Amino acid sequence: MARIIGGMGSPHAPSIGALIDAGDWDSPEWKTLMDGYRPMQDWLAHHKPDIAILIYNDHVTSFFFDRYPTFALSVAAEHPIADEGFGPRPLPPVRGDWHFAWHLAHSLVEDEFDLTICQDMPLDHGALTPISALWPDHSKGWPTAIVPIAVNVLQFPVPTPRRLFRLGKALRRAVESYPEDKKVVILGTGGLSHQLHGERFGFKNPEWDHEFLSLLERDPESLASLRTQDYIERGGAEGAEVVMWLAMRGALSDNIRKLHVNYHGPLHTGFAQILLEEIGA
Amino acid sequence: MAGRQIDPDRLPHGTYLNTGQNAMQGLKVNRLCYDLRKQSERDAFLADPEARMQHYELAEADRELIRVRDWLGLVKRGANVFPLLRLSQLCGDGLAGTGAQMRGQTLEQYLATRQASGK
């Protein structure tokens, strides 16, 4: 049987991908952020998960508003690197796991998560930033298969915080009903507080971000009970994407330990990383 | 547009949600920006912006906002910031510059409110 061994939260800003591509892990202004990936990289290298389920959002790269899925799952064996308008990043195509992904599709739809099933879903910075930061050495290919789920957090109505939390619970049922012996890690991406449009551009709320990180670990139910409006008010309109971290947390049990948390937000966005490990797995 | 999750009349000042009439009004501008993923479209826009705005059948109000690089005005009419950033960056305003303009500040004024240089 497959099992979930842990969950991680990571930002997905393209500026982080640019630092990685430049080999600039020690830039003085961003060292606190980039160093925050090292314990996560070490944990992944040690535990070697077979599969990572990646909860992210597309930034109007693979999907346009003419027909916009609320949830989209890629079942592809390989995910192309998208060109967002500045040329594709120098990364090899991302390995998927089509067999596991189709199982996920069946299990999630039977659990009433009626996703759009995608066979060709190029990944943009929402997905590539976290995976290139977590697995910086992909010279011999990506060590872990990536199964991406894109969530609409851009065109309202977006799915509710509780819906994302329940998606996580459905993901856990899907993983635990997979007959093969696989180790799975769940990645929630985005955030934390930021707003990138309107006169409120540049809004950040470190106090709320720290409360969010604390509640995520010990009382995620309270985060699931908040409204989308609460997230917009406290963490900015674009920061409301942090509900994607609730899907990660929903997939974990309550028997977890926090191995690592990091926060750094000097510019537009309050960036955070977290690593939660399942104790029983 | 009201629901249990959002109070459209009580959004924080300076916040514009992509939904309803705004989402529909913004579709053409968003499509122009979406297509700027492609080098050929970027080249075509830089060579003859009026022709591209005509091609995408933009409303005159949107054309004028693009001519004067009024990013806030475009957001207010339904442009989503992520595709819009492709256009603003093509026109020479980076993320910080685009944001500063939306705040009604110069780039220097905005960066002075930050704890990093933004370089």
Query: What is the ipTM for the molecules in this complex?
Result: 0.96
CA angle (B70, B73, B76) in 5-degree steps: 155
Q: Given this model, what pLDDT does residue B110 score?
A: 97
Question: With pLDDT > 90 as the criterion, what percentage of chain A qualifies?
Answer: 97
Selected for mutation to probe chain B from A30, A60, A225 (highest B CB count within 10 Å) is A60
At B8, is the pLDDT very low, low, confident or very high (cuts 50, 70, 90)?
confident
- Supply the mean pLDDT for chain A: 97
Inter-axis angle of helices A243-250 and A161-176, nearest 10: 30
Query: Cα(A182)–Cα(A100) distance, rounded to whole angstroms?
Result: 10
In this complex, which of A196, A228, A266 lies closest to B6 when CB atoms are compared?
A: A228
Angle between helices A38-47 and A125-134 (to 10 degrees): 70
Pick the closest to residue A108 from A151, A57, A73 (CA basis). A73
The reply to whether B64 falls in a domain is: yes
Establish if B29 belongs to a structural domain: yes
CB neighbours of A34 closer than 8 A, spacing ≥ 6? A16, A19, A25, A26, A27, A133
**Spatial CA neighbour of B62 closest among B26, B88, B15, B37:** B26
Computed over its alpha carbons, how large is the radius of gyration of chain B?
15
- Which among B14, B17, B84 is the nearest to A199, CB-wise? B14
φ, ψ of residue A106 in degrees (nearest 5): -65, -45
CA distance A15 to B95: 10
Compute the average pLDDT of residues A39-52. Answer: 98
B55: which 2 tokens? 């091609």
Please name which of B65, B10, B24, B73 lies closest in space to residue A155, comparing C-alpha atoms. Answer: B24
CB contact under 8 A, B4 and A227: yes
Q: Is the pLDDT of residue B1 over 90?
A: no
* A202/B99 CB distance under 8 A: yes
Supply angle C-alpha A150, A133, A168, rounded to 5.
35
Average pLDDT estimate for A150-162:
98
Q: What one-letter code names the amino acid at A155?
A: Q
Distance of alpha carbon A94 from alpha carbon A75, whole angstroms: 12
Token pair of A21 as six digits:
């591509």
Residue A186 token pair: 């769940």
Question: B100-105: long-range contacts at Cβ-Cβ below 8 A with a sequence spacing of 24 or more?
Answer: B100/A201, B101/B69, B101/B71, B101/B72, B102/A197, B102/A198, B102/A199, B102/A201, B102/B14, B102/B71, B102/B72, B102/B75, B103/A199, B103/A201, B103/A202, B103/B14, B104/A199, B104/B72
Q: Does A197 touch chain B (CB under 8 A)?
A: yes
Q: B4 pLDDT exceeds 70?
A: yes
Q: What is the pLDDT of residue A140?
A: 86
Q: What does the buried/exposed string (b/e) look like for A177-193 if buried means 16 or more CB atoms within 10 Å of the residue's CB?
A: ebeeebbbbbbbbbbbb
H or E segment at A3?
A: strand A3-10
Residue A270, C-beta contacts closer than 8 angstroms, at least 6 positions apart: A191, A192, A193, A194, A204, A205, A206, A209, A235, A239, A263
Q: In this structure, is the dihedral angle defined by the CA atoms of residues A89, A269, A155 and B62, taken in order, positive or negative? A: negative
Can you tell me the distance from the alpha carbon of B89 to that of B81, in angstroms, rounded to the nearest whole number? 11
| Per-residue pLDDT tens over the stretch A176-235 | 999 999 999 999 999 999 999 999 999 999 999 999 999 999 999 999 999 999 999 999
What DSSP element (H or E) covers B84? Answer: helix B81-90
pLDDT, position A262: 98
Single-letter amino acid code for the residue at A192: L
B69 pLDDT above the threshold of 60: yes
pLDDT at A106 over 80: yes
In angstroms, the CA A59 to CA A10 distance is: 16
According to CATH, the superfamily of the domain at A3-278 is: LigB-like (3.40.830.10)
Q: Of B5, B16, B104, which is closest to A157 when you measure between CB atoms?
A: B5
What letter represents residue B62's amino acid?
A: D
Domain coordinates in residue numbering, chain A: 3-278
- Chain A nearest-CA distance from B89, in A, is 10
| Mean pLDDT on A20-48 | 97
Q: Which pLDDT belongs to residue B2?
A: 54
Mutating which of A84, A201, A204, A243 best tests the B interface, going by the most B Cβ atoms within 10 A? A201
Q: Angle, to 10 degrees, between the axis of helix A206-218 and the axis of helix A228-235?
A: 140
Report, as an integer, the average pLDDT of A144-159: 98
Q: Where residue B27 sits, what CATH number does that domain have?
A: 1.10.700.10
Give the domain extent around B42: 19-91
Split into its structural domains, chain B has a count of: 1
Q: pLDDT band at residue A112, thresholds of 50, 70 and 90?
A: very high
- Asked if the peptide bond before residue A157 counts as cis, ω within 30 degrees of 0, the response is yes
Any catalytic annotation for residue A99? no
Share of chain A above pLDDT 70, in %: 100
A48-79 pLDDT, tens digit each = 999 999 999 999 999 999 999 999 999 999 99
